[in-house]
A and B are shown apart, each in its own frame.
Chain A
Amino acid sequence: DSGVTQTPKHLITATGQRVTLRCSPRSGDLSVYWYQQSLDQGLQFLIQYYNGEERAKGNILERFSAQQFPDLHSELNLSSLELGDSALYFCASSVDHSRTLHFGNGTRLTVT
């Protein structure tokens, strides 16, 4: 058990809708990272937060946004969903960017 909790495990929704994915980091970890894994693109880094502040941005679409709350949990918001957004979304946490990553079990999003 990595100590990182992601909810929900599975999500099925329709095109055009908006969903929110939630991540609770391991106790004591200040950094939260979001990743997308799709069949055609593989793993991609989306965004990183550190202690409530955005630290780094990767290949995150403008339709996607994230935030990290004072209790350090994070949410990834995906809007105007398209079929191509169907993927596994992973959250990971670490003490800081130079330390080992701890991954959640992922949220499998299916857009129909």
Chain B
Amino acid sequence: KNEVEQSPQNLTAQEGEFITINCSYSVGISALHWLQQHPGGGIVSLFMLSSGKKKHGRLIATINIQEKHSSLHITASHPRDSAVYICAPYGNNDMRFGAGTRLTVKP
């Protein structure tokens, strides 16, 4: 079993839909990062969470440390949100990565 499991692997949505991407991990962590990687390859850090919930624009990230689970939500999705979203738990001076969720938002 992978230490970091993301679901779904692929997601296609219509513009305006509410999106949820899930991340479960088995390692102990001090923080969890959500990353966005666009088709060109560049990576942007969206959130770093150690507890609770964070919001930035249409993006919301939550984490439950006890359940070892985090979710990334996108409200009112837009074609420009099309990218690969990667969760990356960090702990014990090590960072693991999920395999990523490829999101395609159609107009």
Show the binding face of A for B, using Cβ within 8 Å: 2, 33, 42-45, 48, 55-56, 58, 88, 90, 92, 97-103, 105-106, 108
Contacts and interface: CB of A to CB of B under 8 A. Distances in A.
Given A88-B41, A103-B43, A45 B48 contact: no
Contacts of B31: 98
A71 B95 CA distance: 25
Q: Which of A2, A43, A103, A105 has the most CB of B within 10 A?
A: A43
Q: Which of B41, B42, B95, B99 has the most CB of A within 10 A?
A: B95
Contacts of A58: 94-95
Q: Which interface class (under 10, 10 to 19, 20 to 34, 35 or more) fits B?
A: 20 to 34
B99 to A, nearest CB: 6
A88 B40 CA distance: 12
B45 A45 contact: no
